[in-house]
Structure 1
């Protein structure tokens, strides 16, 4: 288990993100303060859990945690700021949304957002720190649900399968159907396809219907 040097504090928030790599949709973050009197078994990096297990744990986290909150940065913000700074902004929003102000924040990865309380970055924290594991699960479940809704609206893109990541199927769908308003235009695969369509058609952008 990860050991960190800190003063004795009562409320520690774990913070994680999901969705830095996809070509579409928001980057979603979560912040969680667990209740030490209500342990949750099976917490782990959300990517190492089955979808069924993630959903069950997400409900247990929401029920047992002292508090939790989601944050997000939209595609337009990602395009404007870049994905790193948009992710840090989304983390700030998640922490700000907590009903209890944490005295310390543990952030998955190697960068911390600017917060009002001390924060420590923990590489692979989603596998090492229960609070971060819980945050990774809530963020993953929330973003996957958004991809399911997007799939229902645009089934030809296959979002239920690839969750917006740059798979061959996703890139082929963009080539065939154009881009959606939710696509991240600053991401190279999307930008190149937009530029290609513009050269072929003389239009500045091709948007899927």
Structure 2
């Protein structure tokens, strides 16, 4: 996976770029940072973004020197940096792309797989063409998107012992077992190398930029979702499991944007079903007459036929 800068170097951002970019730009001119937003919420998509600085001019380096982990920035700061990172004046000097995995996709697979899949799609959406096989991708976290890896490469930096120590070890192991030795896509459609950088969103400017783009884009999606489903307050909590959100689910049920496999949502749905069953079981049985279902008298023609048969 290549050498790793030491801690003091990786946290320094001299001349507007981090040690990771400085090291990699010596051998490749395309360094792509990738991050996601929205793994934890109970509703909405998980959003991934990819960002690359194609130019190393002073204006681009100054911009990269001012980015940081989106979680460490106030909303106003994120919005301002998002506007700068996506400003048309940087066209052909920086490139970025966004990909999403919906709540339905998350439920159909799992949040880890959906996140990694969105990351891979974001990288491909950069449309680097012939430059992609020469690029170097830096991904936030300890896992690498399998769809971007070459044959025989492992998707996680964690050892099996580390995996077994995690609470979600079972899901991770199932996903790991399902990744074929030859991942999807032609070898020519994959970057030269993919590195996982733990806490990369605060250490690598390209990843920081991607984290800001992903976060702001997702927040805007949730605000739009709030207008469609105002009962849940998505604009305020962005889909996270706040008490207000959980209470809204108890009161109104769920919408199609909720992740039904996530514990709090699943448990609330199960409890709601139990309550419905209990209510039905506790309802006393009533006769047809009480329910207004007493047999109506036969029609006149039918009654005459019956009398004729008796004669």
Match of residue 31, structure 2, among 12, 25, 29: 12
Determine the structure 2 residue equivalent to 1:105: 137
Determine the structure 2 residue equivalent to 1:75: 103
Determine the structure 2 residue equivalent to 1:57: 81
Asked whether the 8 Å contact 1:67–1:99 carries over to 2, the reply is no
Post-superposition shift, 1:159?
Answer: 1.2
Determine the structure 2 residue equivalent to 1:141: 216
Q: In structure 1, what is the Cα distance between the partners aligned to 2:82 and 2:194? A: 24
Q: Secondary structure at the match of 2:206?
A: helix
Match of residue 253, structure 2, among 159, 178, 193: 178
Structure 2: which 5+ residue stretches go unaligned? 1-8, 11-18, 149-189, 278-311
Determine the structure 2 residue equivalent to 1:205: none
Post-superposition shift, 1:154?
Answer: 2.1
Q: Secondary structure at the match of 1:47?
A: helix
Q: Secondary structure at the match of 2:83?
A: helix
Q: In structure 2, what is the Cα distance between the partners aligned to 1:83 and 1:31? A: 18
Q: In structure 2, what is the Cα distance between the partners aligned to 1:74 and 1:156? A: 20
Post-superposition shift, 1:138?
Answer: 0.3
Post-superposition shift, 1:14?
Answer: 0.2
**CA RMSD in angstroms, aligned pairs only:** 1.5
Pick the structure with greater CA Rg.
2
Please report the TM-score for the alignment, with normalisation by the length of structure 2: 0.62
Count of aligned residue pairs for this structure pair: 202
Give CA-to-partner distance per residue, 1:116-145, whole Å, 9 cap, x none. 121101111111111000000000000000
Give CA-to-partner distance per residue, 1:184-209, whole Å, 9 cap, x none. 0000111111111122225xxxxxxx
Post-superposition shift, 1:66?
Answer: 2.0
Structure 1: which 5+ residue stretches go unaligned? 203-209
Q: Does 1:194 align with 2:269?
A: yes
Asked whether the 8 Å contact 1:19–1:28 carries over to 2, the reply is yes
Please report the TM-score for the alignment, with normalisation by the length of structure 1: 0.92
Q: Secondary structure at the match of 2:139?
A: strand
